[in-house]
């Protein structure tokens, strides 16, 4: 072969016909897979280590037929997993996986335009900027606000900490302290560490009986730190904790942060999009006073994993925290209404995430999302009422959003024995494989939780969950 190849000499260039064949071949696998999601086990990872090791392979020198590759992915690798896209996934915080976004991502990757800098694709960058504007609108942020799409909530929380640090403290920031409740997501601690803070600078504020941050303790902790020479930097409130879906008193936290000139951040990665509903808006009153907010479209907007967002009330603050130039870069936009995503975020080259949110919202309008989120709130409430009727069941946390936390109790049993009993209970529910639930520790007590967030979860699956829960409860309580 010569050094200069014509297009049909390199398999790296697919012809139109070949592209269509490849997509068709993938579709032949994708469609039956998606159709069978409801009947697939809710989780099945037994033998996962053996499977993983059996898939180790050297760098292939030559290609193999597409049928073989798809068979490996769909028949061997895929089945052993949590069925995160299925209706029975009620664990952790469920993701989504609307297929409109899968198509958008195909388009985004196929056109492969560059949206990291505005000048490289002004129109496409604007579509993504529109998504950010919509999110700011949902949050109640005004015209000076800004933000960007991230890979997820963890990275968005990281950028929020960096923005707070760079705007409020100088390079000498090690006296800066960060406050969050004992229910906050662990990505905040990780974010603080990655942003250069010693782990000890993150102050854990205790929570009340419904798992909301205690504002009296928050105020006391800030006062004590000021006295001892620290620089209280940032308060992180949760709008939907992972454990129980608890929403902190955002208005009160906002007032405390303002009083001390601190950055007020709201981690609404899970709960934020409930603001599309009447009940969610009520629960999150005060969020519009935040300096920054994290929303995860790959949770509450049901798009596939890989899209989170950070919104900042003062867009200029976000830019101050991130803008770094270089001689080989094209000119950046100076107009307030045009955005270079590389100037407000850690990334330069990046996927065109915006299309994956923009396209489904344009195709469907926001209403189907709103209705589905309302349904999730109803389902969690319904599950809670049903759980109350199970003998020996204690509701540990009523739904504030779409999480309900519960455990079995038995008179006279100590904590350790009860924890064992509830772990056994959880295992029995999950072993039926209709639903997959997870547990957590709340004040040292092992607690089971249901989190309803998948757009594919409806009443029928919750009824199945209740049947499995009643059977498992009866079995472990010996009833
Ligand atoms: C899921 C979640 C995160 C982390 O988001 P990722 O998208 O998984 O990185 C942070 N905070 C809360 C409250 C969450 O629910």
Q: Which CATH number goes with the domain that contains 399?
A: 3.90.1150.170
What b/e sequence results for 89-111 when a residue is b if at least 16 CB atoms lie within 10 Å of its CB, and e otherwise? bbbbbbbbbbebbeebbeebeee
**How open is the CA angle 90-211-411, to the nearest 5 degrees?**
80
Least trusted range by pLDDT, from 109-118, 331-340, 352-361, 378-387: 331-340
Residue 117 maps to a domain: yes
- Taking the centre of ligand 1 as the mean of its atom positions, its distance from the CA of residue 36, in whole angstroms, is 28
Looking at residue 323, what is its pLDDT?
Answer: 86
| Residues in Cβ contact with 268 at an 8 Å cutoff, skipping those fewer than 6 apart | 238, 239, 240, 275, 284, 287, 293, 294, 295
Ligand 1: atom nearest CA of 240 is 13
Question: Do both 223 and 328 map to the same domain?
Answer: yes
Q: Which domain holds residue 398?
A: 371-478
Residue 63 maps to a domain: yes
| Residues in Cβ contact with 135 at an 8 Å cutoff, skipping those fewer than 6 apart | 147, 295, 309, 311
- Taking the centre of ligand 1 as the mean of its atom positions, its distance from the CA of residue 387, in whole angstroms, is 27
Looking at residue 366, what is its pLDDT?
Answer: 98
The 8-class DSSP code of residue 204 comes to E
* Integer-rounded Cα radius of gyration of the chain: 24
- Taking the centre of ligand 1 as the mean of its atom positions, its distance from the CA of residue 58, in whole angstroms, is 35
pLDDT of residue 209 exceeding 80, the answer is yes
**Cα separation values, 239 from 121, 157, 236, 417, Å:** 35, 13, 10, 33
Nearest Cα residue to atom 2 of ligand 1 = 269
**Which of 49, 83, 117 is a domain's end point?**
83
Q: Mind listing the pLDDT tens digit for each residue in 406-418? A: 999 999 999 999 9
Looking at residue 8, what is its pLDDT?
Answer: 60
Residue 331 maps to a domain: yes
Question: Do both 270 and 381 map to the same domain?
Answer: no
- What is the β-pairing status of strands 81-82 and 308-312? unpaired
Give the span between the Cα atoms of 402 and 461, in whole angstroms: 15
Residue 95 maps to a domain: no
Q: Mind listing the pLDDT tens digit for each residue in 350-402? A: 999 999 999 999 999 999 999 999 999 999 999 999 999 999 999 999 999 99
262, 114 in Cβ contact below 8 A? no
Give the span between the Cα atoms of 474 and 396, in whole angstroms: 19
Question: Do both 118 and 206 map to the same domain?
Answer: yes
Question: Do both 325 and 305 map to the same domain?
Answer: yes
Residue with tokens 């032949």: 28
256, 215 in Cβ contact below 8 A? yes
CATH code of residue 206: 3.40.640.10
Average of per-residue pLDDT values in the chain = 96
Nearest Cα residue to atom 5 of ligand 1 = 153
Question: Do both 290 and 434 map to the same domain?
Answer: no
Residue 326 maps to a domain: yes
Give the span between the Cα atoms of 126 and 137, in whole angstroms: 16
Mean pLDDT calculated for residue range 82-97: 97
Looking at residue 1, what is its pLDDT?
Answer: 45
**Residue count of the chain:** 479
Residue to mutate, 158, 267, 292, 400, ligand 1, most ligand atoms under 8 Å from C-beta: 267
Nearest to 377 by CA among 305, 288, 249, 281: 281
CA dihedral of residues 24, 30, 32, 37 (deg, nearest 10): -170
- Taking the centre of ligand 1 as the mean of its atom positions, its distance from the CA of residue 300, in whole angstroms, is 11
Q: Mind listing the pLDDT tens digit for each residue in 261-318? A: 999 999 999 999 999 999 999 999 999 999 999 999 999 999 999 999 999 999 999 9
pLDDT of residue 168 exceeding 70, the answer is yes
| Residues in Cβ contact with 345 at an 8 Å cutoff, skipping those fewer than 6 apart | 148, 150, 159, 310, 322
pLDDT band at 336 (very low <50, low <70, confident <90, very high): confident
| Residues in Cβ contact with 15 at an 8 Å cutoff, skipping those fewer than 6 apart | 8
Question: Do both 452 and 345 map to the same domain?
Answer: no
Nearest Cα residue to atom 3 of ligand 1 = 153
Residue to mutate, 238, 269, 271, 451, ligand 1, most ligand atoms under 8 Å from C-beta: 269
**How open is the CA angle 261-267-268, to the nearest 5 degrees?**
130
350, 115 in Cβ contact below 8 A? yes
Residue 2 maps to a domain: no
Ligand 1 site residues, Cβ closer than 6 angstroms: 93, 152-154, 185, 187, 238, 240, 242, 267, 269-270, 296, 308
The 8-class DSSP code of residue 75 comes to I
Question: Do both 129 and 148 map to the same domain?
Answer: yes
Residues facing residue 177 across a β-bridge: 232
- Taking the centre of ligand 1 as the mean of its atom positions, its distance from the CA of residue 456, in whole angstroms, is 20
- Taking the centre of ligand 1 as the mean of its atom positions, its distance from the CA of residue 298, in whole angstroms, is 10
Angle, helices 315-322/153-168, rounded to nearest 10 degrees: 90
Domain count, the chain: 3
Residue to mutate, 185, 239, 306, 403, ligand 1, most ligand atoms under 8 Å from C-beta: 185
Question: Do both 225 and 128 map to the same domain?
Answer: yes
Question: Do both 144 and 70 map to the same domain?
Answer: no
Residue 179 maps to a domain: yes
- Taking the centre of ligand 1 as the mean of its atom positions, its distance from the CA of residue 218, in whole angstroms, is 22
- Taking the centre of ligand 1 as the mean of its atom positions, its distance from the CA of residue 283, in whole angstroms, is 19
Which pair of tokens denotes residue 261? 């000139």
pLDDT of residue 2 exceeding 90, the answer is no
Q: Which long-range contacts (CB under 8 A, 24 or more apart) does 276-283 make?
A: 276/138, 276/366, 276/369, 276/370, 276/373, 277/370, 277/373, 277/374, 277/377, 279/374, 279/377, 280/373, 280/377, 280/401, 283/239, 283/247, 283/400, 283/401
pLDDT of residue 225 exceeding 90, the answer is yes
Residue 96 maps to a domain: no
310, 160 in Cβ contact below 8 A? yes
| Residues in Cβ contact with 38 at an 8 Å cutoff, skipping those fewer than 6 apart | 86, 87, 88, 456, 461
Give the span between the Cα atoms of 259 and 215, in whole angstroms: 13
- Taking the centre of ligand 1 as the mean of its atom positions, its distance from the CA of residue 299, in whole angstroms, is 9
pLDDT band at 3 (very low <50, low <70, confident <90, very high): low
pLDDT of residue 479 exceeding 90, the answer is no
Give the span between the Cα atoms of 192 and 267, in whole angstroms: 14
**Which of 364, 391, 415 is a domain's end point?**
364
pTM tops 0.85, yes or no? yes
Handedness of CA 68, 72, 73, 76 (dihedral sign): positive
**Which of 344, 364, 384 is a domain's end point?**
364
Question: Do both 201 and 261 map to the same domain?
Answer: yes
Give the span between the Cα atoms of 313 and 324, in whole angstroms: 21
Question: Do both 122 and 230 map to the same domain?
Answer: yes
Question: Do both 360 and 375 map to the same domain?
Answer: no
Ligand 1: atom nearest CA of 185 is 11
Nearest to 246 by CA among 209, 217, 205: 209
Looking at residue 7, what is its pLDDT?
Answer: 58
């Amino acid at each position: 072969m010569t050094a200069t190849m014509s297009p049909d000499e390199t398999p790296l260039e697919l012809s139109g016909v070949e592209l269509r064949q490849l997509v068709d071949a993938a579709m032949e696998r994708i469609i039956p897979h998606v159709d069978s999601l409801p009947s697939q086990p809710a989780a099945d990872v037994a033998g996962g280590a053996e499977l993983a090791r059996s898939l180790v392979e050297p760098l292939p020198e030559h290609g193999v037929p597409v049928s073989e590759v798809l068979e490996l992915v769909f028949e061997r690798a895929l089945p052993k997993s949590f069925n995160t896209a299925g209706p029975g996934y009620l664990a952790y915080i469920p993701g989504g996986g609307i297929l409109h976004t899968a198509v958008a991502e195909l388009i985004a990757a196929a056109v492969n335009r560059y949206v990291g800098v505005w000048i490289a694709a002004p129109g496409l960058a604007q579509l993504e900027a529109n998504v950010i504007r919509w999110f700011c609108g949902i949050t109640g942020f005004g015209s000076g606000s800004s933000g960007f799409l991230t890979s997820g909530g963890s990275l968005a929380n990281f950028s929020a900490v960096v923005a707070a640090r760079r705007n409020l403290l100088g390079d000498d920031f090690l006296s800066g302290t960060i406050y969050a409740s004992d229910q906050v997501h662990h990505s905040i601690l990780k974010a603080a560490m990655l942003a250069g803070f010693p782990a000890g600078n993150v102050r854990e504020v205790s929570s009340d009986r419904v798992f909301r941050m205690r504002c009296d303790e928050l105020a006391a902790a800030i006062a004590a730190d000021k006295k001892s020479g620290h620089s209280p930097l940032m308060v992180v409130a949760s709008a939907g904790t992972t454990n129980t879906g608890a929403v902190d008193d955002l208005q009160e936290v906002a007032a405390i942060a303002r009083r001390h000139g601190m950055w007020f951040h709201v981690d609404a990665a899970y709960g934020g999009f409930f603001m599309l509903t009447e009940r969610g808006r009520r629960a999150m009153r005060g969020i519009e006073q935040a300096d920054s907010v994290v929303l995860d479209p790959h949770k509450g907007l049901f798009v596939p994993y890989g899209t989170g967002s950070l919104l900042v009330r003062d867009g200029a603050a976000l830019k101050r925290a991130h803008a770094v130039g270089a001689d080989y870069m094209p000119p950046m936009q100076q107009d307030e209404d045009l955005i270079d995503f590389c100037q407000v975020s850690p990334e330069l080259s990046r996927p065109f995430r915006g299309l994956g949110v923009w396209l489904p919202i344009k195709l469907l309008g926001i209403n189907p999302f709103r209705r589905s989120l309302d349904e999730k709130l109803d389902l969690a409430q319904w599950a809670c009422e049903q759980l109350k009727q199970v003998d020996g069941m204690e509701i540990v946390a009523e739904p504030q959003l779409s999480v309900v936390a519960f455990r079995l109790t038995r008179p006279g049993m100590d904590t350790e024995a009860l924890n064992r009993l509830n772990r056994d209970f959880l295992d029995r529910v999950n072993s039926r494989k209709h639903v997959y639930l997870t547990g957590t520790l709340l004040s040292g007590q092992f607690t089971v939780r249901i989190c309803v967030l998948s757009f594919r979860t409806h009443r029928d699956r919750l009824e199945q969950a209740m049947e499995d829960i009643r059977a498992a409860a009866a079995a472990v309580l010996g009833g």
